Chain A
Amino acid sequence: DADVTQTPRNRITKTGKRIMLECSQTKGHDRMYWYRQDPGLGLRLIYYSFDVKDINKGEISDGYSVSRQAQAKFSLSLESAIPNQTALYFCATSDLLATGELFFGEGSRLTVL
């Protein structure tokens, strides 16, 4: 089983719908992250959490919210999806990041029509 698991892997939805992307990890890391990837724009940080009680906005948090339900679970929500939120979303985890290493899930491809 993967250390970082994202569900769903693919989702097609309509404008205005609420969508939740879920992430769970078995690495025992305190830090979790949500990134968005668009062609030619690299990976942009949406939200991150350094422990269960800590939630921080990243570079592009508008239109998104998150919930850290437990050390192992970090969910990303789009309250009212819009077409320009069509993207590939990655969850990642890390320890203190002393080695600069993030561990990524396989990604969730979201299409908003």
Chain B
Amino acid sequence: GQSLEQPSEVTAVEGAIVQINCTYQTSGFYGLSWYQQHDGGAPTFLSYNALDGLEETGRFSSFLSRSDSYGYLLLQELQMKDSASYFCAVRNQGGKLIFGQGTELSVKP
């Protein structure tokens, strides 16, 4: 079967750094994506890791370890607008994305 695990909630303060972890089990792993969703709006793509290592895009970075079936999203210099739900998603050999249950990030002043 396929499953993804991520924390349901994370709280951090403005200006801090927060890491959202994701572990997965899947057949035919091709890559790990991250999405952001504000208040039930359209999920928006943040990053994708197909190979081991760190990918950086501005304040956001994403890491993948294929041998550990593990990845994380790192958000630096947190801003209030970063309060949202964050989803990891596995791209599997069937050519589709399977999503985790999401992590709700609350950024406090």
Question: CB within 8 Å of B: which residues of A?
Answer: 31, 33, 35, 37, 40-45, 48, 50, 58-59, 88, 90, 96-97, 99-107, 109
Contact between chains at A104 and B48 (CB < 8 Å): no
In the complex where A40-B8, A48-B96, A97-B97 touch, is A104 in contact with B43 (Cβ < 8 A)?
Answer: yes
* In the complex, number of A-B residue pairs with CB atoms less than 8 Å apart: 63
What residue of chain B has the Cβ atom nearest to residue A41's Cβ? B101
- Decide if A50 touches B41 in the complex (CB within 8 Å): no
Chain B interface residue count, CB cutoff 8 Å, equals: 24
Interface centre among A35, A42, A104 (most CB of B within 10 A): A42
The distance from the CB of B28 to the nearest CB of chain A, in whole angstroms, is 13
CA distance A48 to B43 in the complex (A): 17
Flag if A104 contacts B87 (CB, 8 Å). no
- B33 and A42: CB pair below 8 A? no
Contact indicator A43/B99 (Cβ below 8 Å): yes
Cβ 8 A contact of B42, one of A42, A48, A90, A109: A90
Please tell me if B19 contacts chain A, counting CB pairs below 8 Å.
no
Query: Which positions 10-62 of chain B face chain A at CB distance < 8 Å?
Result: 31-33, 35, 40-45, 48, 50
Given contacts A33-B97, A43-B87, A100-B89, 12 further A-B pairs with CB under 8 A are A31-B95, A42-B102, A43-B89, A90-B43, A96-B95, A97-B91, A97-B95, A99-B48, A101-B48, A102-B45, A103-B45, A104-B43
Whether A43 contacts B33 in the complex (CB less than 8 A), given A33-B96, A97-B97, A100-B89, comes out as: no
Known: A90-B42, A100-B91. A58 touches B96 (CB 8 A): yes
Report the Cα distance A69→B33, complex, angstroms: 29
Q: Which of A40, A102, A105 has the most chain B CB within a 10 Å cutoff?
A: A102
Name the B residues within 8 Å of A31 (CB-CB): 95
Question: Cβ of B105 < 8 Å from any Cβ of A?
Answer: no
5 A-B residue pairs with CB within 8 Å: A35-B99, A50-B95, A102-B33, A107-B42, A109-B40
- Which residues from B are CB-within-8-Å of A33? 96-97
